[in-house]
Amino acid sequence: MTNYKGVIIVKTNSEFKKDCVLIVDDVKENIDVLNGILIENYTIKAAMNGKIALKIAEKFKPDMILLDVIMPEMDGFEVCRKLKDNPITQNIPVIFVTAKSDEVDEARGLEAGAVDYISKPVNALVVQSRVKTHLALSNQQKELAKQIRKKTSELQSIQNEIIKSLGRASVYRDNETGAHIERVSEYSYMVAKILKVDEEIAQMLKEASRMHDVGKIGIPDGILNKQGKLNADEYEIMKTHTEIGAEILGEHDYYIMKMSSAIASQHHERYDGKGYPKGLKGSEIALCARIVSVCDVFDALTSKRPYKEHWPFEKAIELLEKEKDKQFDGKVVEAFVSNIDQVRHIHDTHQDTF
């Protein structure tokens, strides 16, 4: 290694992929020593100041960083804190290499996020042992995290299939159609993205919205399929589908199931507190339910049924606008009507069949 000057330095003695170690020190001779100790078993990158080290770490994501403490402009403690504050680099293990080895400094380093200390002048066997040990631990953690992600993904897929199955089951018990569920799902996802909801949560909402009327499974056929207007007693029974839905979905730790239950129980609540079953108001109603409420009503109005004609889009939008901050969350309504071209596309893509 002959030229640092803050630039990336790469050395490898093998064509096979090796763990990468980033060495950060403002003294060239110190980098040379560590490089000589590690070069046989690792790919080495190096930087002579903290600023360049942060850039290298973010771009190349080394498997480990050996970090000097005493450096000009940005010391090792600050570099370590910045590494741990960055989601891209926060899981890279950092070992401080320094002559400052008293207990106070060690505590400060561990507080900043380092996993270990190596004292100068360095001992080759100690460096090799510490690097090997912490890389092994890091790789075990990565593999564990990978397995957890895999299992979580599998569980998520199972939950999604259960939700889809329950959604299909509710269709067979209702005058609504499978296309209605698909449209409400797509509308809900569209609104969530306009409201800048995180993609993962928006995808969950897309699936969970299918559950909004699952409680109708528990409503008697005579009421559920009645062609005419429900009388007062029948309407009270119909309203219980929100609570039945929550009971069917139950209480779970998984976020998508919690969201599904909230939608099923709250999509008939009103923003002004005059809805059912609990008379929730404003932000007391889960955002996912506020979104589905708008999408569900709009689709019900604009869809033809054997017992009614559809409303024109313009008339349905007028109702949404009229009910802003009364029946519906005004911000959700604004998001929905802001992309009416996409609404039309979704409506035309998922057509009812009778």
Specify whether 248 is located in the same domain as 329: yes
Does residue 319 belong to any structural domain of this protein?
yes
Domain total in the chain:
2
**Which residues, in sequence order, are CB contacts of 153 under 8 Å at separation 6+?**
none
Whether 346 has a pLDDT exceeding 50, the answer reads yes
Residue pLDDT, tens place only, 163-208: 666 666 666 555 555 788 889 999 999 999 999 999 989 999 998 9
pLDDT at 2: 44
CA torsion sign for 237, 206, 294, 197 is positive
Say what angle helices 287-302 and 255-266 make with each other, to 10 degrees: 50
**Residues 96-124, mean pLDDT to the nearest whole number:** 81
Query: pTM, whole model, 2 decimals?
Result: 0.58
pLDDT at 175: 52
Specify whether 230 is located in the same domain as 124: no
Specify whether 233 is located in the same domain as 119: no
Residue pLDDT, tens place only, 47-86: 999 999 999 999 999 999 999 998 988 999 999 999 999 9
Q: Cα–Cα distance between 44 and 67 in angstroms, integer?
A: 13
pLDDT at 163: 67
pLDDT at 1: 46
* Helix/strand/coil for 21: strand
Question: Which tops the pLDDT comparison, 114 or 16?
Answer: 114
Q: Which domain holds residue 294?
A: 173-349
Specify whether 120 is located in the same domain as 256: no
Specify whether 128 is located in the same domain as 223: no
Q: Give the pLDDT band (50/70/90) at residue 141.
A: confident
pLDDT at 4: 47
Specify whether 85 is located in the same domain as 220: no
Whether 19 has a pLDDT exceeding 70, the answer reads yes
**Which residues, in sequence order, are CB contacts of 59 under 8 Å at separation 6+?**
none
Does residue 152 belong to any structural domain of this protein?
no
Q: Strands 116-119 and 94-98: what pairing?
A: parallel
pLDDT at 174: 55
Does residue 151 belong to any structural domain of this protein?
no
Whether 222 has a pLDDT exceeding 60, the answer reads yes
Q: Give the pLDDT band (50/70/90) at residue 129.
A: very high
| CATH number for 275 | 1.10.3210.10
**Which residues, in sequence order, are CB contacts of 336 under 8 Å at separation 6+?**
187, 190, 191, 194, 294, 295, 298, 320, 343
Does residue 249 belong to any structural domain of this protein?
yes
Question: What's the whole-number average pLDDT of the chain?
Answer: 87
Q: Cα–Cα distance between 6 and 24 in angstroms, integer?
A: 10
CA torsion sign for 219, 223, 227, 230 is negative
